[in-house]
Amino acid sequence: MEKNPAAEQLEELSPKEVDEVETLGAVVEKKGGPEPGNMKIDLHCHTEASADCSTPLELFPARCRERGVWVQAITDHNEIWGAQKLQEMVEEEKVKKAGFPLTIIVGEEVSTIHGEIIGLFLKEKIPAGMTPRETVHAIKEQGGLVVLPHGFDPLKRWRLQPAALETIEDEINVVETFNSRISQLRWNQAAVDWAKLHGVAMSAGSDAHTLSDIGSAWVEVPVQKIQTPQDLVKALEAGVPVGEWTHPVVAFAYKFWDRSLRRLGVR
């Protein structure tokens, strides 16, 4: 059986490095499935609706089931049509198959003039190119949640800039404290520290741009229905974000290879 490169990287971490990240909200996790009676929540993922991702929507349900993800937020770059279409597909599947355990949250990773912000539980697309404060206002107008993704990694090209974060820090509902595509694990820990300081719920995001990446980061919680923003925040507060980290160079290589194969019709 071919070995998972991400798992190999985790095995290469020194005990000291593991100790540095295995704290509440930033845990290195090697096992794949949830404990009996639990489910996984992933709040950051991309589909073919993102310009930098080619994962077909129809492949998501099976992959989520395989990884034990019961609640998946789709957060394409400046688009929500993929999330809406997938949500419709899943709802139709639930009618056909009673007990189909997958909930899709419509989200968007919005490009503001000072970096990215995620909005969840959206009904309409948020336009790119606004200020962070305007973007937050647009999300809240729809009754959505404001999520800060990978905001503490200085190597993330579109991270929310520190000065901009200060202007909206009181409006953030959830902080992504485990991102599988962070440049160094210590930036996840920085997010944990910020979340604790501000008393904000913590989440995990695979930030998946390929099919194999889906389910690589999650919050594990007891099985429950997530239908509203309040349901989600309550569930997150009772869970611990965990994940499988992949070095960004490796992640980029995976993404390039995946897109090349799809263009050739191999996948």
Which residues are CB-neighbours of 151 under 8 A, at least 6 positions away?
115, 159, 160, 165, 175, 176, 191, 194
pLDDT tens for residues 243-260? 886 655 444 444 444 454
pLDDT tens for residues 37-60? 899 999 999 999 999 898 999 999
pLDDT tens for residues 174-197? 999 999 888 877 888 999 999 999
User: How much is the average pLDDT of 153-167?
Assistant: 91
Instruction: Look at residue 128 and give its three-state secondary structure.
Output: coil
- Confidence band of 267 (pLDDT split at 50, 70, 90): low
| Backbone φ, ψ for residue 17 (5° rounding) | -65, -40
Q: In this predicted structure, what is the pLDDT of residue 155?
A: 85
Instruction: Look at residue 42 and give its three-state secondary structure.
Output: strand
Which residues is 99 bridged to in the sheet? Answer: none
Give one word for 70, left, alpha or beta, with left for phi > 0 and alpha for psi -120 to 50: alpha
* Rounded Cα distance, 181 and 203, in Å: 14
Q: How high does pLDDT run on average in the chain?
A: 83
Q: Give the architecture (CATH level 2) of 36-262.
A: Alpha-Beta Barrel (3.20)
pTM for the predicted model, two decimal places: 0.81
Which residues are CB-neighbours of 94 under 8 A, at least 6 positions away?
100, 102
Q: In this predicted structure, what is the pLDDT of residue 59?
A: 94
Which stretches of the chain are DSSP H helices? 5-12, 15-21, 60-67, 81-96, 132-141, 162-168, 186-198, 229-237, 248-263
Q: Are 153 and 184 in contact (CB under 8 A)?
A: yes
* Rounded Cα distance, 168 and 116, in Å: 13
Angle, alpha carbons 160-51-118 (nearest 5°): 30
Domain ranges of the chain: 36-262
Q: How far is residue 25 CA from its own chain's centroid?
A: 14
